[in-house]
């Protein structure tokens, strides 16, 4: 039985003051009422603030990107070991905004995934198609090549300490969510693809859905057989909404 994971991706939002409010609300939740593990992926400068407020709570900490390199002359980059130093458990790799605005490729994402695991972090590998790709009927080809780059570099066993997030690009920040059926279809295909390589890894793999998940559509998405949680953008910035999604899990 896979446990549900509801992870917030704050993206480039927040301030010391607004985070204090949001983190306090999360840390004051009655966790016993939740079925889901909670995590928040915060901007780098706020890792220590989040780690301090969330210490002693079950909410896990994550970052939104990581360098593929271990250390050295890479100005502006942040290594996986640095994230581990600040108590991160998770790191997103290959978010579509990194792929489309910052040049992340399937190959560089595979290197980031591997670097995260070397430092003991659990990568959350983001995959998903654009609207044009969906309309062209190549959703699964796109998602498969995103997965295959990681499988080629790290092997299928690496997915036993990783999470996959299916985030259709056309549903991110648009208010247009994939229907539960559309999401379930791709999740099942992702799991089937991993199953060909290793049925046990596939059976245990958490596959999150992301893209305009909100309190009012979360329950139905999270009820789908192969949807093991959510990666939440906008709604993770409002404690009430984020917790309502977690309660729906």
Q: Given the rule CB under 6 A, which residues bind ligand 13P?
A: 9, 95, 167, 172-173, 210-213, 231-235
* CB-nearest residue to ligand 13P: 233
CB of 231 to ligand 13P, least distance (A): 4
Which residue's CB is nearer to ligand 13P, number 167 or number 228? Answer: 167
Q: Please give the backbone phi and psi of residue 121, each rounded to the nearest 5 degrees, phi first.
A: -85, 155
CB of 213 to ligand 13P, least distance (A): 6
CB of 99 to ligand 13P, least distance (A): 11
Which residue's CB is nearer to ligand 13P, number 229 or number 233? Answer: 233
Say how far apart CA 217 and CA 43 lie, in whole Å. Answer: 26
Catalytic residue among 68, 95, 97, 133: 95
Q: Is residue 95 among the annotated active site residues?
A: yes
Which residue's CB is nearer to ligand 13P, number 121 or number 231? Answer: 231
Catalytic residue among 68, 129, 167, 187: 167
Q: Is residue 167 among the annotated active site residues?
A: yes
Which residue's CB is nearer to ligand 13P, number 122 or number 212? Answer: 212
CB of 236 to ligand 13P, least distance (A): 7
Q: Please list the active-site residues.
A: 95, 167
């Amino acid at each position: 039985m896979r446990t549900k994971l509801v992870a917030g991706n704050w993206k480039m939002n927040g301030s010391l003051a607004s985070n204090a409010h949001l983190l306090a609300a999360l840390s004051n939740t009655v966790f016993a009422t939740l079925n889901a593990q909670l995590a928040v992926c915060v901007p780098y400068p706020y890792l220590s603030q989040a780690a301090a407020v969330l210490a002693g709570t079950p909410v896990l900490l994550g970052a939104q990107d990581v360098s593929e390199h271990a250390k050295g002359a890479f100005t502006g980059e942040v290594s996986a070991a640095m994230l581990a130093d600040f108590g991160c458990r998770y790191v997103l790799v290959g978010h579509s905004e990194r792929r489309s605005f910052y040049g992340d490729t399937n190959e560089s994402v595979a290197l980031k995934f591997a670097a995260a695991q070397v430092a003991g972090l659990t990568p959350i590998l983001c995959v998903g198609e654009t609207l044009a790709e969906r309309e062209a009927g190549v959703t699964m080809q796109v998602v498969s090549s995103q997965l295959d780059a990681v499988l080629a570099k790290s092997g299928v066993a690496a997915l036993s300490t990783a999470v996959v997030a299916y985030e259709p690009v056309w549903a991110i920040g648009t208010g247009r969510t994939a229907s539960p059926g559309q999401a379930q279809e791709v999740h099942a295909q992702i799991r089937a693809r991993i199953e060909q390589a290793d049925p046990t890894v596939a059976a245990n793999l958490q596959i999150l859905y992301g893209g305009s998940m909100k309190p009012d559509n979360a329950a139905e998405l999270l009820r789908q057989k192969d949807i093991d949680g959510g990666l939440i953008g906008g709604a993770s910035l409002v404690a009430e909404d984020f917790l309502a999604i977690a309660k729906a899990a």
